[in-house]
Amino acid sequence: MEKKSRQFYTEKATETEQQSQRETFLTMADEEERHYVVLENIINFLSQPSTQLENAKWYHPDEY
């Protein structure tokens, strides 16, 4: 879902002629990418919790 949403917003950014709309679509696409990374890390954690807990470098999201 997140990948499709990112692709949608990226496509809309290329279709619009207004810079402000383009920036908004690209920002939304970036947010979808962050969602994907967070979900991927949650799935990895749930599938291998002992390995993830031993790894102190588990994903830390960027500040918003």
- Give domain limits for the chain: 2-54
Q: List the one residue out of 1, 30, 26, 2 whose CA is nearest residue 12.
A: 26
pLDDT, tens digit, for every residue of 2-30?
789 999 999 999 999 999 999 999 999 99
pLDDT of residue 27: 96
Residues 6+ apart with CB under 8 A from 26: 9, 10, 13
Read off the tokens for 33.
Answer: 């990418």
Residues 6+ apart with CB under 8 A from 61: 34, 37, 38
